[in-house]
Amino acid sequence: MAGGPEIATAALLVREDGTVLLVQHHESHLEFGGRWSLPMHVVGDEEVAEDALERLLREVLHVEPGPYEFAETLYLSGESGGRYIVNVFTCVEWGGEPRYTGRSFADGAWARPGAAGAIDLDPDVRAWLFDAFSEDAAAQAEPEDQSAIVSQLTDARGEMLAAFDSIPSQWHDNALDGSWSPMDVLAQAAAVEAYTLDEAQRLLVPGHTWRDFNDDQWKADYRVRPPETTAEIRARLDEARANTRAWLDQATPEQLATFGNHLERGVVTVGNRLEDIARREREHVARLRRMREAAQITDGALPLGAVPSDDQDDDGASTGA
């Protein structure tokens, strides 16, 4: 399969006896021929993940959808090299008995997760089902909560500021990594956090599709803003974090688990989008460390854009007695 990975939706239908519906793909299927998996369907160009799920349930499995919730994202590889990002939804209280035609699947069975040894189940699906349904996983599973997210945010912010402070202050406003200066890094981190919190709150509205932060647009807007001091940028950074913490303090586990659509991943949750703030800041740590190395290499030279003092000639040599 050429190009990037396909986005797909899978239905995890769980009966009261704890068994789940597994299906076998036809031998002629280029990617999963003869293998078993959860029932799944590729998300169409004009669909969101929930649309594809309901189409799978109604048109392929011939059941009426009931309540469902996002469970996990699996990354599957087909026999011919195709890659799939599969968003799994747990389905309960559907209407009717699942059935399918020979055009859809070669076979189907209700099986206990992790106990279908005779079935050639896709290995990634098998591993996830075993983990998701094992007694240990069930005992340890906890809903997303504020403390875990706050811990990640706190650690990443500390690492980023430590990396920034390790760069001599005379280099803070100088391009040390391409066109980026250390102050640019902090400025973007503040903008990303403010944007992410706002967009994460929009996910609480059903059907919202996540819009990624536009780095190019930010650069264009930032370059025409009046210059800011390091103190002003750090104040914006602190304000963005204070707003995130204030929202997290009152957020419920259900809100953090609320899911919405993503053009590349198919499904994302409010919680993992807020965790992404920490991931971005850790990427900035690597960039700031490269900047520190660049400053050390040029240690003793004038910062970029500096003007020689009156007692130096154009080559930097002293003209004094």
Yes or no: say if 280 and 167 are a contact pair by the CB < 8 Å rule.
no
Question: Are 210 and 273 within 8 A, CB to CB?
Answer: yes
Query: Where do runs of H (alpha helix) occur along the chain?
Result: 49-55, 123-133, 135-140, 146-165, 182-202, 215-223, 230-250, 253-257, 270-297
Q: For 116-171, write each residue's pLDDT tens digit.
A: 556 778 888 888 888 877 654 444 444 457 888 999 999 999 999 999 999 999 99
Number of C-beta neighbours around residue 189 at 10 A: 25
> Cβ–Cβ contacts within 10 Å for residue 77, how many?
15
Choice between 45 and 187, residue whose per-residue pLDDT is larger: 187
Is residue 5 within a helix (H) or strand (E), and if so which, with residue range? none
**What pLDDT, on the 0 to 100 scale, is given for residue 30?**
59
Q: Assess whether pLDDT exceeds 50 at residue 232.
A: yes
Domains of the chain: 6-140 (3.90.79.10), 146-297 (1.20.120.450)
Helix (H) or strand (E) holding 306: none
Torsion of CA 66, 70, 75, 78, to 10 degrees: 10
Q: Strand 20-24 to strand 107-111: parallel, antiparallel, or no bridges (unpaired)?
A: antiparallel
Taking all residues of the chain, what is their mean pLDDT, rounded to a whole number?
83
What's the pTM value of the predicted model, to 2 decimals?
Answer: 0.67
Per-residue model confidence (pLDDT) at position 117: 56
DSSP tag of 170: G
Half-sphere exposure of residue 104: CA atoms within 13 angstroms, side-chain side? 22
DSSP per-residue letters across 77-95: E-TTS-EEEEEEEEE-S-B
* Type and span of the H or E element at 232: helix 230-250
Give the residue-averaged pLDDT of 71-77.
91
Q: What strand order describes the sheet that includes 36-37?
A: 36-37, 20-24, 107-111
Is residue 245 a contact partner of residue 154, using CB atoms and an 8 Å limit? no
